[in-house]
Amino acid sequence: MNSLSARQCTLVSPLEFAGIGVHSGLPVTMSIEPAVAGEGIKIMRLLDNGKTTGPSEVHYSKILSTTLCTTLDLGDSKSVATIEHVVSALSGLGVDNALIVINGAECPILDGSAMPFAKAIVQAGLKVLPQKRKYIKILRSVTVRNNDAFAALEPYNGRALDLEIDFDSPVIGRQRMIFDWTPKKYFDEVALARTFGFVEEAKILRQGGHALGSSMENSIAVEKDRVMNPEGLRFDDEFVRHKLLDAVGDLALGGLPIYGMFRSFKGGHGLNALVLSSLFANDDNYEIVNADELPLVFDALNDLPDGLRVESYLRSVG
């Protein structure tokens, strides 16, 4: 195993974003700073009074709500919504440690996909840290259900997702994606997929004070049997790809990358959070292992997006 698979990563330099929240409609700026090994992904808010919340772990135990998006509790009655796309980009490209700093209560939606975050990460580059990367190795299958929908984590030699959706819409219908994760495949096949919504539902959501920032600039708008966006879809199956993007972000709330198989049918943020809490409810379900203890050495982390620079702590790889 070469050093990139085995070692933790952070960003070479900070990233900056400005946009609006898809639900609040409010302007927000967000930066992502490099962090030392063992910190994981953390998030903190800059408040209007000049103070900040303490850095809070991006962790399933901090989830406040999974309605429409994943919202984290930051303590002191402060929260941050719609974290899943930025966290997906960090996790999807193998960034283990970073601090997200945001001046509002919702992450910017940008174009509705994870690509603006992913592109910025690729431009900044990854810095390999000396400390070993740890994984959550799935030892026993865990399944959570809601009627015919389910989410499951299963033992598997690698990191994969098998996700299927079934919408009563001729534009979407039944779509399935099986994804053996590598950073390059995440960048090329997943990061670009945008969030989506139904025009009739958007009216109701707006009356309830949600989706106030949503537009065809940041969402695929589906009306009955057609996509309203003049540019059309980025992939024929963009919908299932976006659900997979969300799942990558939601699963990162386990705190460490998962070594195993995630399966989902008609799932979403709620079931994704529930399968993590069910996994961690019993110590027999998993173990924390160093990368070099894994039975099957895999080169996934070395399959990098084109142009991604990797800076070693030794300055001898990449």
* Binding site residues, Zn ion, CB under 5 A: 195, 246
Alpha-carbon gap, residue 259 to 40, rounded angstroms: 16
Toward Zn ion, which CB reaches closer, 132 or 234? 234
Nearer to Zn ion, 221 or 294 (CB): 221
Active site residue 85: no
Measured from the CB of residue 52, what is the shortest distance to Zn ion in angstroms? 27
Nearer to Zn ion, 246 or 311 (CB): 246
Which residues lie across from 136 on neighbouring strands? 258, 288
Burial of 260 from C-beta contacts in 10 A (0-12 / 13-18 / 19+):
buried
Are 99 and 292 spatial neighbours (Cβ–Cβ below 8 Å)?
no
Q: Which residues contact 168 (CB under 8 A, 6 or more apart)?
A: none
For the bound state, the minimum distance from the C-beta of residue 186 to Zn ion, rounded and expressed in Å, comes to: 14
- The separation between CA 257 and the C-alpha centre of its own chain, rounded to angstroms, equals 11
Strand partners, 63: 72
- Is the CB of 8 or the CB of 195 nearer to Zn ion? 195
Instruction: Report the nearest approach of Zn ion to the CB of residue 212 (Å).
Output: 17
Going by C-alpha positions, the residue among 238, 265, 241, 271 that lies closest to residue 165 is 265
The burial class, CB within 10 Å (0-12 / 13-18 / 19+), for 157 is middle
Rank residues 37 and 86 by Cβ distance to Zn ion and give the closer one: 86
Please report how close the Cβ of residue 1 comes to Zn ion at its closest, in angstroms: 33
Shortest gap between Cβ of 154 and Zn ion (angstroms)?
24
State the catalytic residue, choosing from 23, 85, 210, 269: 269
Residue 254 and residue 143: Cα distance in Å, rounded?
16
Handedness of CA 198, 202, 204, 209 (dihedral sign): positive
Q: Could you give the residue numbers annotated as active site? A: 269
